[in-house]
Amino acid sequence: MSLFRKSKFLYELYNFFQYNKLKRNIPLYKELGLKKKYYSSISDRDFKDSDSSLFKPNQQEVDSINAEFEKLPQLVKEQVSSFSDNGYAIIKSFFSEAQVDEINYEVDRMLKSGEASFRYQNKIMFAIHKSDLIKNMGADKDLLTVLNHLQKENTTLFQSINFKTGSNQRTHSDAIHMSTFPRGKMIAVWVALEDMSIENGPLHYYPGSHRLPYVMNEDFGNVGDRFWLGPKDYSDYEDKIQEIIDDRGLEKEVFIASKGDVLIWHANILHGGERVIDPESTRKSVVFHYYADKCIAFHEITERPTFRE
């Protein structure tokens, strides 16, 4: 990361002009007694003495969420029943072939028209802001019912990332990118938009790893000061995660998904993308990220509050 991008002042200056996107944090900071402006840098360290129970959903809300969940097909309920133990759940054929084909046509149309383009080599970011079809997939009523039940509170779709090919991404936890207070208030859904194979770089994950301690800036020597971000790079974080995997002897699983399958994962589960063996292959997929309605969301490495509006 360049010295320019290490400056907290520049981020805060940019945030100053994003009041409408950050104002939701003002009453939450006040409730926690945090002396923070809406544009201030924020990190996991700022919540060391904060009471997470202040953000606990009330019982009436939980009862309502569970009642909706009970209306779902029994097979769906069974397939997500091990989520708390494993940190992930797989729902087979959650979306039909017709629904998936519609999304693939929509992505191709957006790329051809210029409404969407790839960033970071193979990612289409936030297509939900430009396509009702993609947004409606992520906001599917039954899917949200499952997520609300797993989180024990109401959640809202925040982000989408479409992939055409495998990510080749090293193992990580989403909690370093989509950090929250209280911790664990993000949940993700990945949808296979075609059949997967070992050649096209399928997803991998480490069952039960969501129960490990969260790895935040201070855990890999990335603590900065009032004016500057920490000295480490993202690759240093990835090295720390690999060190944990090796030290604990964690066992990896690879998900060879079928078209329409859904993988739901916990904010802190360790996961990534297998190496793409066939460079000519595609791995069409979309991942959706959701935050609990009442939480403070931020990006731990750059200590930026998240724009959620």
pLDDT averages per 10-residue partition of the chain, 309 residues: 79 96 97 96 97 94 97 98 98 98 98 93 94 98 98 97 95 98 98 97 98 98 95 97 98 98 98 95 97 97 92
AA identity, residue 101: D
Helix, strand, coil percentages, rounded to 5, for the chain: 40, 20, 45
Residue with tokens 């194979």: 197
DSSP code of 22? H
CATH of domain 4-305: 2.60.120.620
The answer to whether 228 and 214 are in contact (CB under 8 A) is no
Helix (H) or strand (E) holding 105: helix 97-113
DSSP code of 3? T
The answer to whether 65 and 76 are in contact (CB under 8 A) is no
For the chain, give every domain's residue range.
4-305
The per-residue pLDDT for 4 is 65
Query: What is the radius of gyration, based on Cα positions, of the chain?
Result: 19
Question: Which two structure tokens, joined as six digits, stand for 173?
Answer: 């936890």
The per-residue pLDDT for 308 is 86
The answer to whether 127 and 107 are in contact (CB under 8 A) is yes
Distance, CA of 200 to chain centre? 22
Strand partners, 88: 265
Cis peptide before 207 (omega within 30 of 0): no
Q: Note the helical H segments in the chain.
A: 8-16, 19-22, 25-32, 59-69, 74-79, 83-86, 97-113, 132-138, 141-151, 234-248
Residue with tokens 């690759």: 235
Strand partners, 203: 255, 273
Strand partners, 187: 266, 290
- Nearest to 187, CA basis, from 260, 123, 264: 264
303 phi/psi in degrees, rounded to 5: 55, 40
Classify each residue of 84-94 as buried b or exposed e, where b means 16 or more C-beta atoms within 10 Å of its C-beta: eebbbbbbeeb
The per-residue pLDDT for 3 is 58
